[in-house]
Amino acid sequence: MDLELDAGARRLTVLEREHRVLQQAYTQMEGRLQDVERRLDALLAARAEARGDVPSNAHSTHHVIAREYDALVEQKVQGLARAAASSVAAAPPGAATRMLWLMGRICSVLFGQDEPEGKAVLAAVGKSRLDPLASQASRLSSCALDLRQRSAQTGLPAHWDFELMPGEPLDEEWQEAWPSCDTTLPGQFVIAPAYLVAEQVFSRQRVCTGLSIPG
């Protein structure tokens, strides 16, 4: 039995090491992909501007920001919200909706009026500064701040729009239901705000639909 436990422990150690290596490779690949996308967008924008058939290079920059914003919400914001929700000893009924609610609270800190901070992100999900999620919250706020600063530097008016009338049908032009939500039901709360540039929709608002709002 001891030999089996030792072998299992060694195997677990190897798997953990392989998992860390894969995570690092994924992070590096994601960074390289974003860099390639930026350079490609810049190249396409320069060629298009030479032909005079696009508004400006600033619009291309905002398209890149919108894609990075979508990835931030779908991966990092959702990951933090899921971790915060799963750390609750007794998850309430409708835990999936609770996670979406936490995503909305996180996004309200990251893309609201105030400059995002890790401690505010933690407070939004009911965690203290000493919580194990602190480093994750800090990295997330830094990423959001970078997007906001790059957006402001383009010179075009842009903002993240949280406006929603609970109980009203979604406006497909600038809103969409979260994939796990029923698209036939009215909107209840914002999960992630829309990204608008000069009143044009670069990323639609993600909304939780339903008949009640979780507390």
Q: How far is CA 105 from the centre of its chain?
A: 12
Beta strands in the chain (DSSP E): 158-161, 175-177, 187-192, 194-197, 200-203, 205-209
pLDDT tens by residue, 110-128? 999 999 999 999 999 999 9
Encode pLDDT of 48-73 as tens digits. Answer: 444 444 456 888 999 999 999 999 99
CA distance 211 to 214: 10
pLDDT at 198 over 60: yes
187-192/205-209 β-pairing = antiparallel
Question: Quick one: CA torsion of 205, 96, 80, 190, rounded to 10 degrees?
Answer: 20
Instruction: Check if the beta carbon of residue 49 is closer than 8 Å to that of residue 56.
Output: yes
Read off φ and ψ for residue 130, nearest 5 degrees. Answer: -95, 5
The whole-number average pLDDT for the span 84-89 is 73
